[in-house]
């Protein structure tokens, strides 16, 4: 059960971070936002690694594991998250989050053809039902907001590209954390730290090209605080929990569970914002719960 609970914890963490990011993106550009959140989260994780005395774990890792973790960070946190932030800015949390959460379908393909996992019918069925539930929640939200076709098309494209980038990044992390030389809680923490630091350092070096006006240095405190907080929750906690879940359950199970962020978003809206529950919302939420149940019971 530890793996399933960790994957659910990742989904909840990403729900919280999406809300924080959306508030911040109203006042800054996605590239500047990504530089700030990754730089501070990377520094925090590096300091934590030293304080906890885990530097020896880092130096003991095989080079190919370090490379896998680093490239995973570049693809998932650099390319994927920048596209995600662009999508959030264009079409909002209600649309962007459900669309990006189709990444389990890609990961099932990677699990079968790359990791050579034996993916059972209940897992495939569960993942499909989860994505169906996400789609229903997304359709419900579409009726509440109107956007021009150009913004909608670009936002959807960025969201789908995010899902593909995340799925590749997740598959690489799964390989890095499940090889014989790794396989502990310490390794999960260190590997997650490597991927964050790799992209944080890369973005800081490329900042003069990616953010020529250095807007990330001119950001107001409220916006920076929201981005840094979101980074700690999503990168420090969420991605660590997903990485840790791979130590206990296969990628084909962990990833669909981690994609249930829209369910938590809906429940939060109902419980805190007292939003009205429509039939589509109820059916979508129940479909996600049913999909999780199928994946859990494998």
For Cα atoms 269, 99, 37, give the angle at the middle one, nearest 5 degrees.
75
Identify whether the C-beta of residue 207 lies closer than 8 Å to the C-beta of residue 16: no
Identify whether the C-beta of residue 228 lies closer than 8 Å to the C-beta of residue 36: yes
pLDDT band at 145 (very low <50, low <70, confident <90, very high): low
Whole-Å CA distances, 87 to 49, 82, 173, 261: 32, 9, 24, 16
pLDDT band at 118 (very low <50, low <70, confident <90, very high): confident
Query: In this predicted structure, what is the pLDDT of residue 63?
Result: 93
The pTM (predicted TM-score) of the whole model is 0.78
pLDDT tens digit sequence for 165-203: 999 999 899 888 888 888 788 999 999 999 999 998 888
User: Can you give 150-187 as a three-state secondary structure string?
Assistant: HHHHHHHHHHHHHHHHHHHHHHHHHHHHHCCCCCCHHH
Among 128-132, 190-194, 244-248, the range scoring the smallest mean pLDDT is 128-132
Q: Which residue has the higher pLDDT, 270 or 124?
A: 124
> pLDDT > 70: what percent of the chain?
87
Exposure of 147 by Cβ count < 10 A (0-12 exposed, 13-18 middle, 19+ buried)?
A: middle
Q: At a CB cut-off of 8 Å and minimum separation 6, what does 6 contact?
A: 241, 242, 244, 245, 248, 254
Identify whether the C-beta of residue 157 lies closer than 8 Å to the C-beta of residue 75: no
> What interhelical angle do 30-51 and 2-25 show, nearest 10?
140
Q: Taking the CA of residue 117 as centre, how many other CA atoms within 13 Å lie in the half-sphere pointing to its CB?
A: 23
Question: What is the number of other CB atoms lying within 10 angstroms of the CB of residue 200?
Answer: 26
Residue 246 φ/ψ, nearest 5 degrees: -65, -20
Instruction: List the chain domain ranges.
Output: 17-121+146-249
At 11, list the tokens. 């989904």
Give per-residue burial for 80-114: e unless 16+ CB within 10 Å, then b. bbbbbbbbbbbbbbbbbbbbbbbbbbbbbebbeee
> What interhelical angle do 261-271 and 279-296 show, nearest 10?
130
> What interhelical angle do 81-100 and 2-25 show, nearest 10?
120
pLDDT band at 276 (very low <50, low <70, confident <90, very high): low
The Cα–Cα gap between 23 and 180 comes to 42
The Cα–Cα gap between 259 and 68 comes to 22
Q: At a CB cut-off of 8 Å and minimum separation 6, what does 93 contact?
A: 18, 19, 22, 265
Radius of gyration of the chain (CA): 18
Query: In this predicted structure, what is the pLDDT of residue 121?
Result: 82
Among 36-40, 122-126, 247-251, the range scoring the smallest mean pLDDT is 122-126
Question: What is the number of other CB atoms lying within 10 angstroms of the CB of residue 176?
Answer: 29
């Amino acid at each position: 059960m530890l793996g399933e609970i960790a994957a659910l914890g990742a989904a909840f963490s990403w729900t919280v971070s999406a809300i924080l990011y959306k508030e911040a993106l109203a006042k800054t550009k996605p590239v500047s936002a990504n530089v700030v959140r990754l730089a501070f989260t990377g520094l925090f994780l590096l300091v934590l690694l030293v304080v906890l005395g885990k530097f020896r774990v880092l130096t003991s890792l095989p080079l190919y594991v370090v490379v896998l973790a680093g490239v995973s960070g570049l693809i998932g946190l650099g390319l994927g998250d920048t596209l995600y932030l662009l999508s959030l800015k264009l079409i909002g949390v209600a649309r962007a989050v459900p669309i990006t959460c189709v990444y389990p379908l890609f990961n099932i393909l990677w699990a079968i053809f790359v990791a050579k996992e034996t993916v059972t019918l209940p897992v495939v069925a569960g993942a499909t039902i989860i994505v169906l539930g996400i789609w229903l929640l997304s359709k419900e939200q579409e009726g509440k907001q109107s956007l021009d076709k150009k913004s909608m098309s670009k936002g959807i494209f960025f969201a789908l590209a995010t899902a593909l980038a995340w799925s590749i990044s997740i598959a690489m992390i799964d390989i890095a954390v499940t090889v014989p030389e790794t396989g502990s809680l310490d390794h999960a923490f260190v590997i997650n730290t490597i991927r964050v630091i790799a992209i944080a350092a890369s973005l800081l070096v490329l900042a003069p090209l990616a953010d020529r006006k250095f807007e990330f240095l001119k950001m107001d405190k409220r916006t920076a605080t929201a981005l840094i907080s979101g980074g700690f929750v999503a990168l420090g906690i969420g991605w660590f929990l997903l990485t840790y879940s791979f130590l206990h359950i296969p990628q084909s199970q962990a990833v669909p569970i981690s994609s249930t962020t829209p369910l938590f978003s809906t429940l939060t809206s109902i419980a805190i914002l007292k939003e009205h529950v429509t039939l589509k919302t109820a059916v979508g939420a129940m479909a996600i719960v049913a999909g999780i149940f199928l994946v859990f019971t494998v």
